[in-house]
Amino acid sequence: MTVSRLIARPMLASIFLVGAAGALKNSSAPAAKADAVTSRLVPLARKAGIPLPEDPETLVKLNAGVQIGAALALAMGRAPRLSSAVLAGSLIPTTAAGHRYWEADDNATRSQQQLHFFKNVAIIGGLIIAAGDTEGRPGVAWRTRHAAKDARREAKLLKAKVTS
């Protein structure tokens, strides 16, 4: 692992550890904000067969637990691609619920929430890059294409042997 990955992964994970710990300590405040998003997402998830609780506070705690687990995995370099993807996925509803700048009444609050919203969008972008980082090794998609190409070449060789 390169030094940049060794340092960058814990740095990227740190915001999730701090934010999720705060959400676990005081889940009522984020739960009040989360209701606007959870009231729409929970029915959709249930239709898709995903059994989610309806209570926003429980969902906030569940999201915080997922973020802590994924952040620790990312910080320690364990399944960094998966943990980055999980963090990106968990940050989308968090951002949509927590930083609804378009609903703010005054300019100062709107500006502050807009800054946090786009900061989270930037973090999601970084997590997407981290989720695709193969550390210089070929990824699954490349290996699959390469294996298919090899199989086609071998099939042609076998066919040539059989017909000759």
Segment 40-53 shows an average pLDDT of 91
Same domain, 21 and 43: yes
- pTM of the model as a whole: 0.80
Band (102; pLDDT cuts 50, 70, 90) = very high
User: Per-residue pLDDT for 36 more than 90?
Assistant: no
With a CB cutoff of 8 Å and minimum separation 6, the contacts of 83 are 70, 71, 73, 74
Identify whether residues 164 and 91 lie together within a single domain: no
Computed over every residue of the chain, the mean pLDDT equals 91
* Residue that the structure tokens 């984020």 belong to: 30
Residues 121 and 155 in one domain: no
Summarised one tens digit per residue, pLDDT across range 111-140 is: 999 999 999 999 999 999 999 888 777 777
Domain count, the chain: 2
Q: With 70 as the cut, is the pLDDT of residue 13 above it?
A: yes
Q: Which of 106, 74, 77, 109 is nearest to 90 (CA)?
A: 74
pLDDT tens-digit series, residues 65-82: 999 999 999 999 999 999
Which residue segment(s) compose the domain that 9 sits in? Answer: 3-133
Residues 68 and 82 grouped into a single domain: yes
Decide if pLDDT at 1 tops 70. Answer: no
Instruction: Tell me what pLDDT residue 70 has.
Output: 98
pLDDT at 9: 93
Residues 158, 78 share a domain: no
Q: Identify whether residues 125 and 158 lie together within a single domain.
A: no
Both 93 and 127 in one domain: the answer is yes
